[in-house]
């Protein structure tokens, strides 16, 4: 039996409708699950939005080993930014610092070392001796420095972390989590972008001894620019990485892997997954006028409205055109207005599903107008209210 030339196209259409219904969404959002990661805990996060793309046991308290040093250098960077410390200051090396076991920068007792060199010794060489030397110089003792570490952890919202030393050597009640480490790393990159460049340095020479950065991904992946390795028998092999590709930065944390190669491979797997299946976009620039609103009873008749900070979104790849943003301005904005006050909102949806909402704020203050302006606008407002009630 052969099909007629008239009937064949009709049959083909019937088959197409059966397997591909007319209302099928060709642009449906489908994202595969993250890879299986062989580690005690892990987390993958978009730096700009904070969106978590993959995680497991991210809030489990674990020994951090030398990942502790991320907090150590963060505290020192804060002291420098506050003017309490300078890169060319000299720190004396104590007997305790010199004797610290584990990975070392090879500082010498009573031989002063510049703060900048000690920082590079911590960041690049993972020197435990350098960590203790910094702690003692900043706080007088490592115990007091640990209190500073915990104060900064609390301020940053690292709710499941507690530090007892500056180098990460095993100690009771010394712990953190994958999520807290991502929070800390985000703060370090955001607050100290110039100093963060040291985390991408592949080697450092001190006292005629050259040591290489233990982060293997710095050599494998040109988009990776940090952050820190760690290892003890208790903690296993740990690595926090950050990578920047086409304006999108991801932070990956792996704790408790089985080997140095494994921690690098698992971080690479997480990063590749995030960059392959997600994209990040800045929709609006912070502190920039998105709209102007009428002001009642003010010495200015309008006020510029915008966002307090840049607005980024993280979405599945190939769905940028499905984003929609809507600006909603409060009614009857009345002086006085303080800069930074909420005067509306910006809502973003993805395929009509709510994605995020941010406050729309006044970008400048508006003082009350003179008595004539206030009386005149008051009458107009009452007239409008009366008209609305009809």
Per-residue model confidence as pLDDT tens digits over 322-379? 999 999 999 999 999 999 999 999 999 999 999 999 999 999 999 998 998 888 878 8
Q: Which residues are catalytic?
A: 66, 69, 126
| Predicted local confidence at residue 170, as pLDDT | 96
Per-residue model confidence as pLDDT tens digits over 78-137? 999 999 999 999 999 999 999 999 999 999 999 999 999 999 999 999 999 999 999 999
Cα–Cα distances in Å, from 72 out to 60, 152, 173?
Answer: 21, 10, 17
- Please spell the DSSP secondary structure of 298-352, one letter per residue: BSSSEEEEE-SS-EEEEEETT-GGGEEEEEEE-SS-BS-B-TT-EEEEEEEEETT
Whether the Cβ atoms of residue 35 and residue 269 lie closer than 8 Å to each other: yes
Instruction: Name the band, by pLDDT with cuts 50, 70 and 90, for residue 196.
Output: very high
| Predicted local confidence at residue 26, as pLDDT | 53
Per-residue model confidence as pLDDT tens digits over 271-325? 999 999 999 999 999 999 999 999 999 999 999 999 999 999 999 999 999 999 9
Domains assigned to the chain: 41-278 (3.40.710.10), 285-388 (2.60.410.10)
3-state secondary structure of 195: helix
- Please spell the DSSP secondary structure of 60-78, one letter per residue: --B--GGGHHHHHHHHHHH
**Residues whose CB is less than 8 angstroms from the CB of residue 72 and which lie 6 or more positions away in sequence, other chains included:** 122, 131, 134, 135, 145, 149, 166, 167
| Predicted local confidence at residue 14, as pLDDT | 37
Cα–Cα distances in Å, from 358 out to 69, 312, 323?
Answer: 34, 11, 15
Instruction: Name the band, by pLDDT with cuts 50, 70 and 90, for residue 3.
Output: very low
pLDDT surpassing 80 at residue 33: yes
| Predicted local confidence at residue 133, as pLDDT | 98
pLDDT surpassing 60 at residue 15: no
Whether the Cβ atoms of residue 276 and residue 250 lie closer than 8 Å to each other: no
pLDDT surpassing 90 at residue 23: no
Q: Give ∠ CA 46-50-56 in degrees, rounded to 5.
A: 80
Per-residue model confidence as pLDDT tens digits over 162-195? 999 999 999 999 999 999 999 999 999 999 999 9
Instruction: Name the band, by pLDDT with cuts 50, 70 and 90, for residue 1.
Output: very low
**Regarding beta strands 248-257 and 236-245, do their DSSP bridges make them parallel or antiparallel, or are they unpaired?**
antiparallel
pLDDT, greater one: 272 or 390? 272
**Residues whose CB is less than 8 angstroms from the CB of residue 192 and which lie 6 or more positions away in sequence, other chains included:** 74, 77, 81
Q: How far is CA 31 from the centre of its chain?
A: 22
Nearest to 63 by CA among 193, 174, 146, 153: 174
Computed over every residue of the chain, the mean pLDDT equals: 92
pTM: 0.88
Give the whole-number percent of the chain exceeding pLDDT 90.
86
If you search the block for the tokens 């030397």, which residue do you land on? Answer: 133
Per-residue model confidence as pLDDT tens digits over 224-245? 999 999 999 999 999 999 999 9
pLDDT, greater one: 382 or 361? 361
Instruction: Name the band, by pLDDT with cuts 50, 70 and 90, for residue 389.
Output: low
| Predicted local confidence at residue 172, as pLDDT | 96
């Amino acid at each position: 039996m052969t099909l007629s030339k008239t009937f064949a196209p009709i049959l083909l259409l019937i088959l197409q409708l059966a397997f591909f219904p007319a209302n099928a969404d060709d642009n449906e959002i489908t994202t595969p699950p993250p890879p299986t990661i062989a580690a005690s805990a892990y987390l993958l996060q978009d730096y700009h939005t904070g969106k978590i793309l993959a995680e497991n046991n991210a809030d489990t308290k674990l020994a951090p080993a030398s990942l502790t040093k991320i907090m150590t250098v963060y505290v020192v960077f804060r002291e420098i930014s506050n003017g309490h410390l300078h890169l060319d200051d000299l720190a004396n090396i104590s007997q305790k610092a010199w004797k610290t076991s584990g990975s070392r920068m090879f500082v010498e007792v009573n031989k002063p070392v510049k703060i900048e060199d000690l920082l590079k010794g911590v960041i690049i060489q993972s020197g435990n001796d350098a960590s203790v030397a910094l702690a003692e110089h900043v706080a007088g003792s490592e115990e007091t420095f640990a209190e500073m570490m915990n104060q900064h952890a609390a301020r940053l919202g690292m709710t499941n972390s507690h530090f007892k030393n500056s180098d990460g050597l095993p100690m009771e009640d010394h712990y953190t989590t994958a999520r807290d480490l991502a929070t800390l790393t985000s703060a370090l990159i955001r607050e100290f972008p110039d100093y963060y460049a040291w985390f991408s340095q592949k080697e450092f020479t001190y006292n005629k001894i050259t040591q290489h950065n233990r982060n293997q991904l710095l050599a494998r992946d040109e988009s990776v620019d940090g952050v820190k390795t760690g290892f003890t028998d208790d903690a296993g092999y740990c690595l926090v990485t950050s990578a920047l590709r086409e304006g999108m930065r991801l932070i990956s944390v792996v704790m408790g892997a089985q080997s140095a190669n494994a921690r690098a491979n698992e971080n690479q797997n997480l990063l590749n997954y995030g960059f392959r299946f997600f994209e990040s976009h800045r929709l609006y620039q912070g502190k920039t006028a998105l709209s102007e609103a009428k002001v009642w009873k003010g010495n200015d008749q309008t006020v510029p409205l915008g966002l307090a900070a840049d607005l980024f979104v993280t979405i599945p790849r190939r769905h940028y055109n499905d984003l929609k943003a809507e600006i909603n301005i409060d009614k009857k904005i009345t002086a006085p207005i303080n800069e930074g006050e909420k005067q509306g909102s910006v809502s973003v949806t993805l395929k009509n599903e709510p994605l995020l909402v941010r406050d729309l704020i006044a970008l400048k203050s508006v003082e009350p107008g003179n008595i004539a302006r206030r009386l005149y606008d008051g009458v107009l407002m009452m007239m409008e209210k009366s008209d609305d009630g009809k």
